[in-house]
Amino acid sequence: MSHTDRRKKRMPLSFSLLYALPVFAAGAPVLAQAAVTSPSSETRAAAPKKVSVHKVRAGKTTAQKPSTQTLAPQTVRKQNVVQTPSSARTIQQARGAGAAAEGGTETVEVTGSYLRQGRNTSANPVQIITSREIQQTGVTSVGDFLQRMPSIGSSGTGNADTNGGAGVGCVDLRNLGSSRVLVLVDGKRLTQTGLSGGSCVDMNAIPVMAIQSIEILKDGGSELYGADAVSGVINIKMRHDINTGAVTMRGDISQRGDNKTGLISAYKGWNFDHDRGNITLMGQYDTQGGVMMKDRAWSRNPQSSNTMNPNFGSAISTNGMFFDPNTGSPLYNSNNAGSMTPYSKSSRYNYNNDTSLLNNTQNASLMGDAHYDFSKHFTLYSNVMYSHKTSWTQMAPMPAMGSVAPSTLPSAIMIPADYPGNVSGEELQMYRRMGEFGPRKTETAVDSLTAKVGASGEIIAGWMYDASFTYGSTMSSFQTSGVGDYNKLLREWGLEAATPGDSGSDLIYNPNSCVGYAGCVQSSVLSRLSPEAAQYANYTEHDHSQYTMRDFNARIHNDSVVKMPYKGGGNLGIALGMEHRGEQMSYRPDPLIAQGGSLTNTVLRLAVASMCQRPISKVT
């Protein structure tokens, strides 16, 4: 609910009293009903009594002048409480007052339109989720809750995306991608993640306890919000006017003893100056312990084909796979002792033993909200949200298969015929998983800040305005261990390019390739690397990205400019608005990754890096 709506929402005193009276009389509702329906024969007359009767009219609630009525209080046997039929009548009036006032329809601003309208009369297909529904599920993040909904597509990003997901929660509608869903907070834009694989709003950065409701516009909203709302709009309405405080702690653990989740949150609000202003502070810390694939029977053994004789795991094993470069048929494995053995399916590598099923995440969020009603023409409001999130995930060791562009190192690892231990006597191509480097462990740290300041109020004769400025910034750091340095690894194996600078060159064997290089340990492709050799050839990748947004938004609307002249005609509403938004995103990859000097699996990052090194500006 916007700040303008809160000012309009104040109810008359008499209407509030009608809702308070049932609570007053709740001590004996059965007696009150009995006094109306079946008067007891054991009653006695009492002195007449004047009572004040409140009448409720549609659209207006007023207290009428007291009318004198003679009511005979009735006494129920064995009770000392005297009840009157007017008490029961008042209860019934209060219960029906909500339907009588305003014709039973409350007008609010619904996502998909800047005009206020009834929820049941809105033409937009809007799904509304209350905070109570979210909290009843026991989830610790908004992203986890939305992933359970049928309307959410499968191409979004969740905590189960352990290969580049970074623990973020990006929502998708209609499987058109997370970048085609517009996420708003109180109708205003929110800062995005700025990750290397694409940018989206991280739903996990929003404190769960700060949410009042979530509205999902399932229809395309591009005509109102722009091209980034093609698949729909998600508007998160935050809690305002909080005058209490609370602390919530919650924990959970799976039946297997893993995936330990916890949440602790607190909030406190203060109203001041006769409820004209409010300041609210909220904080939340949540954690999720993560799950490994090997700890679940259904994910323990990865099946790579669905044939009559299915294959499990990967052919790229820690023993290495040597195959004919012309046919691609696997011929040998190494025995990790300097020689070769015939290829066997039993050497296939079960990569799920080292792979995470769920990310390990920790998230701390802070939010401050304030507003003050100077007059009906001017309400100043502001909101600041900050979150710091870290995530940890693990994948199988990196395979060595060759270089990738723009590297000029050999694109394939070709083992010369004269290489020591090559029993085939022919040139072979090799794929080898570098178990000596250990599993690839990715750690991510993301800091997000969104600050908003604005003003709203009435201009004149029902014309309302709302103008705001939003600044958002996200800084992300990524660290991945075990990616390897391809050039150093070839040097330790004694392999050199026959034509330096040509990525299509064959390799030749040099038994003294480590001479002159400190830390280099002469090794063999048919043996495991020693700890010293692995330390020399291993590499830890460091990447950084930053996203910045500046958004100015101004809206003017009038819900009832004129009533339409025909029979049954409603009110004509007009809404006008403009938005000026500038966005910049930069991605700074690790220097070795930018050169293509790591062990494969860097093609996507390089492509994204080449696109994101230029600032992107957008105005709508």
Nearby residues of 203 by Cβ (< 8 Å), 6 or more positions away? 141, 142, 143, 146, 169, 170, 171, 183
Output the pLDDT for position 112. Answer: 53
% the chain with pLDDT above 90: 42
Backbone phi, then psi, for 305, in 5-degree steps? -150, 155
Residue that wins the pLDDT comparison between 98 and 324: 324
Banded pLDDT at 133 (limits 50, 70, 90): confident
Span of 27-31, 357-361, 510-514 with lowest mean pLDDT: 27-31
What is the pLDDT at residue 83? 43
Task: Tell me the average pLDDT across 261-290.
Answer: 93
Distance (Å, rounded) from C-alpha 610 to C-alpha 477?
18
Task: Look at residue 119 in the predicted model and tell me its pLDDT.
Answer: 53
Residue 51 amino acid letter? V
Q: Model confidence over 150-196: pLDDT tens digits?
A: 767 665 666 666 665 666 778 888 777 777 888 899 988 888 876 65
Per-residue confidence band for 29, with pLDDT thresholds at 50, 70 and 90: very low
pLDDT tops 50 at residue 64: no
The amino acid at 461: A
Average pLDDT across the chain, whole number: 78
Q: Is the peptide bond before 439 cis (omega within 30 degrees of 0)?
A: no
pLDDT at 564: 87
Record the pTM.
0.73
DSSP secondary-structure letter at 203?
Answer: G
Q: Band the pLDDT of 520: cuts 50, 70, 90.
A: very high
Question: Where do the domains of the chain lie, and which CATH numbers do they carry?
Answer: 3-104 (no CATH), 126-291+359-394+442-480+544-612 (2.170.130.10), 303-349+399-433+486-537 (no CATH)
Which pLDDT score is estimated for 28?
A: 36
pLDDT at 66: 40
pLDDT of residue 451: 96
Let me know: does 161 contact 214? Beta carbons within 8 Å. no
| Residue with more model confidence, 84 or 108 | 108
Indicate if the pLDDT at residue 282 is higher than 70.
yes
Ramachandran bin of 304, using left for φ above 0, alpha for ψ from -120 to 50, beta for the remaining angles? alpha
Least confident range from 4-8, 267-271, 334-338, 512-516: namely 4-8
Which residues, including other chains, have CB under 8 Å from residue 148's CB and lie 6 or more apart? 137
pLDDT at 71 over 60: no
Tens digit of pLDDT for each residue in 195-217?
655 567 888 888 888 888 998 88
Q: What pLDDT score does 18 carry? A: 32
At residue 267, the pLDDT reads 93
- Structure confidence by residue, pLDDT tens digits, 367-414: 999 999 999 999 999 999 999 999 999 999 999 999 888 889 999 999
Q: Is 457 left (phi over 0), alpha (psi -120 to 50) or beta?
A: left
> What pLDDT is recorded for position 147?
77
pLDDT of 485 reads 95
